[in-house]
Structure 1
Amino acid sequence: MKRLFAIVAMCVGIFLCMLDTTVMNIALPAIQDSLKVNLNDLQWSLNVYTIIFASLTIPLSKLAEKFGKHKFYLLGLLTFMGGSLISALSSDLNFLIFGRGIQSIGAAIVFPLSMTIGINTVSLNTRKSVIAALGVTQGLAAALGPTIGGVLTQFLGWRWIFLINLPLMVISFIICLVCLDLQERKEKAKIDYLGALISMATLFSLTLGLVQGRDWGWTSFNILTLLISSAVLLILFILWEKGCQDPMVPLNLFKNKEFMGSAIAIILSNVFLVAVTVVLPTYFTRVQSKTELEAALLVTPITAMILIFSPLAAFIIDKLGPRLVIASGFTLMAAAYILFTKIDMADSTQTTLTCLILGTGYGIIAGPITVLAASNFTGSLLTASQSVAGVLRQVGIVLAVAVYVTGLYTNLGTAKKEAISYIKTEVKTIDVSKEKQQTIQKTAIHSLGQSTSHQTVSNHFSKTERKGIINEAYQKTLQKYPSKLPQVQKQEIYKKVKASVEKKLATINKQINKAIKHIKDYSRKRYTKAFTKLYSYSIIFIILAIFSSLLFPRKNTIISM
Structure 2
Amino acid sequence: MTSQTDRRWWALGALVAAMLVLGFDSTILNVALPTMAAQLGADTGQQQWIADAYIVVFAALMLPAGLLGDRFGRRRMLITGLLIFLVGSLLGTLVDSPGLIVAARAVMGVGAALIMPLAMSVLPSLFGPDERPKAVGAISAASALGLPLGPLVGGWLLDHFWWGSIFFVNVPLVLIGVAACVFLLPETRDPSSPKVDALSAVLTAAGLGALVFGIIEGPGRGWGDPLVVTALAASVALLTGLVLRGRGLDRPMLDLRLLRGPGFLWNTVAAALGTLVLSGLMFLLPPYLEAVLGHDAFGTGLRMLPMMAGLMVAAKGSGALAERIGPRPVITGGLIVLACAAFLGSTTDVHDGYGTTALWLSIAGVGFGFTMVPAMDAALGALPSERAGSGSGLLMTVRQFGGSLGVALLGSLLAGAYGERVDTAGLPARAADAAGDSVVAAHLVAERTGIPQLAASADRAYLHGMSLVLLLCGIAALVAAALTAAFLPDPRARRRGRRTEPGTPTEPGRRADEAVAPGTSDA
**Residue-pair matches, total:** 482
Matches of 2:455 and 2:65 in 1, distance apart? 53
Whether 1:220 and 2:189 are equivalent positions in the alignment is: no
Task: Tell me, in whole angstroms, the C-alpha distance in 1 between the residues paired with 2:155 and 2:100.
Answer: 23
The reply to whether residue 266 of structure 1 matches residue 271 of structure 2 is yes
5 Å matches for 1:397-546? 397-417=403-423, 449=439, 524-525=459-460, 527-546=462-481
Higher mean Cα deviation, 225-234 or 248-257? 225-234
Query: What is the aligned partner in structure 2 of residue 548 from structure 1?
Result: 483
Is contact 2:25-2:170 (8 Å) kept? no
Unmatched tracts of structure 2, length 5 or more: 1-5, 498-523
CA RMSD of aligned residues (A): 3.5
Comparing 164-173 with 187-196, which one deviates more in the overlay?
A: 187-196
1:158-237 alignment runs, 5 A limit: 158-181=163-186, 187-193=191-197, 194-237=199-242
Corresponding residue for residue 80 of structure 1: 85
Q: Deviations over 1:482-509 (max 9, x none)?
A: xxxxxxxxxxxxxxxxxxxxxxxxxxxx
* Runs of 4+ residues deviating >6 angstroms: 36-39, 445-448, 451-454, 516-523
Q: 2:131 aligns with which of 95, 119, 126?
A: 126
Q: 2:454 & 2:37 partners in 1: Cα distance?
A: 30
2:353 maps to 1:347: yes
The 1:130/1:201 distance shift into structure 2, 3 A limit, reads same
Q: How far apart are 1:5 and its partner, in Å?
A: 2.8
Q: Deviations over 1:350-389 (max 9, x none)?
A: 2211111111111110111110110242334221221112
Q: TM-score, normalised by structure 2?
A: 0.81
TM-score, length basis structure 1: 0.76
Q: 1:360 — aligned with what?
A: 366
Contact 2:159 2:298 survives alignment (8 Å): yes
SS in 2 for 1:278: helix
- For residue 11 of structure 1, the aligned residue among 7, 16, 41 is 16
Alignment of 1:58-137 (within 5 A): 58-91=63-96, 96-137=101-142
Aligned-partner Cα distance in 2 for 1:403–1:141: 25
Letter of the structure 1 residue corresponding to residue 19 of structure 2: I
Structure 1: 5+ residue runs without aligned partners?
425-437, 461-515
- Say if 1:166 and 1:277 are closer, same or farther in 2 by CA, change over 3 A: same
Conservation of the 8 A alpha-carbon contact between 1:10 and 1:117: no
Aligned to 1:430: none
Alpha carbons 1:190, 1:246 under 8 Å: kept: yes
Q: Which moved more, 1:518-527 or 1:195-204?
A: 518-527
Write the distance in 1 (CA, Å) between the matches of 2:106 and 2:195: 24
CA displacement at 1:316 relative to structure 2: 1.5
The question of whether the paired residues in 2 share the 8 Å contact of 1:128 and 1:371 is answered with yes
1:387 alignment partner AA: G
Shift of 1:307: 0.6
Please give the per-residue CA displacement for 1:316-355, whole angstroms capped at 9, x wherever unaligned.
1132222211221111112112212335562222221111
SS in 1 for 2:122: helix
Query: Is the CA contact (8 Å cut-off) linking 1:143 and 1:274 kept in structure 2?
Result: no
Percent identity over the alignment is 24
How far residue 130 of structure 1 moved from its aligned partner, in angstroms, is 0.5
- Asked if the contact 2:346/2:471 (under 8 Å) is kept, the reply is yes
Q: Distance in 2 between matches of 1:238 and 1:519?
A: 49
SS in 2 for 1:24: helix
Within the alignment, does 1:560 sit opposite 2:496 as a pair? yes
Query: Which residue number in structure 2 is paired with residue 481 of structure 1?
Result: none
Deviation per CA, 1:74-129: give whole Å up to 9, x if none: 21121111221122233555654443333221111111111112443223442221
3-state SS of paired residue (2:422)? helix
Distance 1:212 1:51 in 2: 15
Alpha-carbon contact 2:261-2:382 (below 8 Å) kept: no
Question: Is the Cα contact below 8 Å between 1:135 and 1:370 reproduced in 2?
Answer: no
Would the aligned equivalents of 2:45 and 2:217 in 1 still touch at CA under 8 Å? no
Letter in 2 for 1:533: L
Q: For structure 1, which segment, 285-294 or 200-209, has the greater mean C-alpha deviation from structure 2 after superposition?
A: 200-209
Query: Given that residues 343 and 350 in structure 1 are in contact (C-alpha distance below 8 angstroms), is that contact kept between their aligned partners in structure 2?
Result: yes
Once residues 219 and 11 of structure 1 are traced to their aligned partners in structure 2, the CA distance between those partners, rounded to angstroms, is 46
1:186 to partner: Cα distance: 5.8
Paired position in structure 2 for 1:478: none
- Seen in structure 2, the aligned counterparts of structure 1 residues 242 and 289 have a Cα distance that, compared at 3 Å, is same
Deviations 1:489-545 (A, max 9, x none): xxxxxxxxxxxxxxxxxxxxxxxxxxx999987775554333223323444333222
Between the aligned partners of 1:66 and 1:213, the Cα distance in structure 2 is 40
Question: In structure 2, what residue type is equivalent to 1:403?
Answer: L
